[in-house]
Chain A
């Protein structure tokens, strides 16, 4: 006899990631990235240090020339119910520059690709035809969007114009709470590696199997499985 879970899986062609409903720690993702031994730039976000000031959103917009309302990163503020009391959860969202990005393989022109030298997922706007296939393929809603000034797809690329010169991404540079930490996951001496060792952070929606390179400290297992969107409405009311 098929149990209910298996029946559902079969009916949906087995393509539903039932694991999406379960807890998957980020450790295997990190171990996998480290096994490759290459430079892999990544970000750790400490939710305990994010004050929701959105300085990151503003500096990103200025650095990358994005118009208001078209953000590469955003910090939606969610209300969280804890022991009957309402708290705010500032949730910085950006493209996870995944290790196994689902946006890359679908691109019909090769415009979206993963850089060998540092693992950043980039969109070549000269090649992008604006078909939106990658937007559909990315499980993280809103991190990819059509830039209204170019008509092609845009997203966070860890500010390659800065990081290629050894500088920090604009959002990290500006972060008023020191919540965003950036570095090479394969450099054991980096601040990022130290934080990962100490806090064993989680990634968002690990069940989608994209192996994100953005790690969150302070996220509960339940929260890590939720489908946050860069365009999530603010639910926190003071």
Chain B
């Protein structure tokens, strides 16, 4: 392959769907746990769910904008092409991962919406809220995995058809969801004196580092097997974005910031929390972008 057919906007779509799903996952998990009896956890769950819903909607907007003839319709003043995307939502092709994903995303948005509305009731014990929380939790896992399966379905692609990608995208979705939740918590001026959040966040990042290691090893070997230069090597643009963006900025730096607070037992300032969240989100985007590029670079 020589041309890049899926670039920045598709990476943005995969990222937004992942981060949205991650935020909804954490929000759902909070509602299902006993923690929501505390008002501050209730608010965190509520605003995280709203943020997750908005991210999912934005992601779906990206599909329409970049993965359909929408742009062509705008630039050529052709209404039929502009609105052609409706076919994506009218057809169900079970053999097509994109079709399955579109319906999954639509379903996830509908249930996220219902979940958000269920927060209107102040009673934490309401069955509907817990029921929606569970559905959102399941749909979030499906959406986050689907973003990997969408590219993994391209069987002949030696970067994308790697099954570890599903785990990577899932863990990365949870870590970027955690970043969204961290922004919500910081915005709500909640502090984390016992570093509970930082510890959980660090654990997810360590798991992510481990699975990324497996992926890097696999790609290096597979590249060699096919007589190619390492597709994630620093000499390639995909490799640069991977190592600097996804690994250094998105994982090592926020992990280091978290660990210094935990080990030093110092309170985490709000500025630092915003910083950790921003770095993690940039990293999650770079991860998807570099994987997309690497798969289209040979």
Contacts and interface: CB of A to CB of B under 8 A. Distances in A.
Contacts of A231: 2-3
The 7 closest A-B pairs by CB, nearest first: A151-B72, A13-B163, A15-B161, A108-B99, A105-B95, A130-B69, A11-B218
A135 B296 CA distance: 11
A236 B128 CA distance: 70
B96 A132 contact: no
A102 interface: yes
Contacts of B85: 129
Interface residues of B, number: 45
Interface in A134-188: 135-137, 139, 141-142, 151-152
Interface string A220-238: 0000000001010000000
Contacts of B97: 106
Interface of A: 7-8, 11-17, 20-21, 102, 104-110, 127-133, 135-137, 139, 141-142, 151-152, 208, 229, 231
Given A102-B156, A105-B96, A132-B6, A12 B162 contact: yes
Given A102-B155, A151-B69, A208-B156, A13 B221 contact: no
Interface of B: 1-3, 5-6, 67-69, 72-73, 76, 78, 81, 84-85, 87-88, 91, 93, 95-99, 102, 151-158, 161-164, 214, 217-218, 221-222, 225-226, 296
B138 to A, nearest CB: 23
B102 A108 contact: yes
A105 B91 CA distance: 13
Contact of A136 (B5, B73, B221): B5
Given A13-B163, A105-B95, A109-B87, A131 B155 contact: no
Contact of A11 (B91, B152, B156, B162): B162
Nearest to A231: B2
Contact of A106 (B87, B95, B217): B95
A138 to B, nearest CB: 9
Classify the secondary structure of B's interface with A: loop
Contact of A130 (B2, B72, B98): B72
A141 B84 CA distance: 26
Contacts of A128: 69
Contacts of B69: 128-130, 151-152
A133 B5 CA distance: 9
B217 A129 contact: no
A12 B67 CA distance: 27
Given A108-B88, A231-B3, A130 B163 contact: no
Given A12-B163, A129-B67, 7 more contacts: A11-B164, A11-B221, A106-B153, A108-B91, A130-B72, A131-B68, A229-B2
A139 to B, nearest CB: 4
Nearest to B67: A131
A21 B224 CA distance: 13
10 contacts: A15-B155, A15-B161, A17-B156, A109-B88, A130-B68, A132-B6, A135-B5, A151-B72, A151-B76, A231-B2
Contacts of B91: 108-110
A102 B93 CA distance: 14
Contact of B67 (A16, A107, A132, A137): A132
A16 B2 contact: no
A13 B98 CA distance: 20
A15 B162 contact: yes
Nearest to B72: A151
